[in-house]
Amino acid sequence: MSHNIWLAASDGDLAAVKTFIEEKGVSINAQDEFGYSALHAAASYGHKDLIKHLLENGADVNIQDPEGDSPLFVCETVEIAEMLVKAGADATHINENEMTAAENAEEEEWFEVAHYLRELTGVPHPDNSTGDLEEDMSHLMEDKDEDEDDEHDDNEKDSAYKERIESIMKATENDGVDRDDELKAVVSEMLAAAGPNGAAALSKELQAHEEKENK
């Protein structure tokens, strides 16, 4: 058995967590020396059953560590973030570093979580060209010029994004399921990886393509 409730929560050991709370009298909202609660730990490691149990038994979904990070700030997947939001997690909360959970997710490169939280709160992506890129996903499938050696790595990254987009689009064609959120997440990730200059170039390229199509 784990030495404390936080290790048990990190391991997803529901039985041990119950023992600490029900038999040893540990508060469900107890925090370790770093300010982590059992819910922080469970959310960080994506233990769904444990998260559900904690929330159903009074865990504070908006409990904060000394830096002002609630459990929503440690979610690495959209599924876990959604569980917390449905339980009342405040997606607009700003921590001691003046960051929202969405901004923290972007810094940690959890881009799908960042996109979900930005959509939820209505806060646009830092680069406004995201919406424009979504209008013509097929354009991102076109081959790019690889004549210059210094663009080789970027082209490889573009190829990987194209393959992901193509896979999503083919899946939608096959079963008719709307995967718009998945496409948006890929676009957000691609823009974040490209940086401000790269994102601007992609937007400019898309605009030129659309003008050509409309002639």
**Burial per residue of 97-113, b for 16 or more beta-carbon CB atoms within 10 angstroms, e otherwise:** eebbbbbbbbeeebbbb
| Bridge partner residues of 37 (DSSP) | 31
CATH 3.30.70.260 corresponds to the domain 5-121: no
Domain map (residue ranges) of the chain: 5-121, 130-214
Residue (of 29, 137, 127, 42) closest to 115 by Cα position:
127
pTM listed for this prediction:
0.60
Helix ranges (DSSP H) in 74-179: 78-86, 101-107, 111-121, 130-134, 152-175
Q: Residue 89: is its pLDDT beyond 70?
A: yes
Using one digit for the tens of pLDDT, what is the confidence trace for 141-177? 444 444 455 555 566 666 776 777 777 777 777 777 7
Using one digit for the tens of pLDDT, what is the confidence trace for 96-140? 999 999 999 999 999 999 999 999 988 766 654 444 444 444 444
Rounded to the nearest 5°, which phi and psi values hold at 99?
A: -125, 145
Residue type at 166 in one-letter notation: E
How far apart (Å, rounded) are the C-alpha atoms in residues 102 and 126? 11
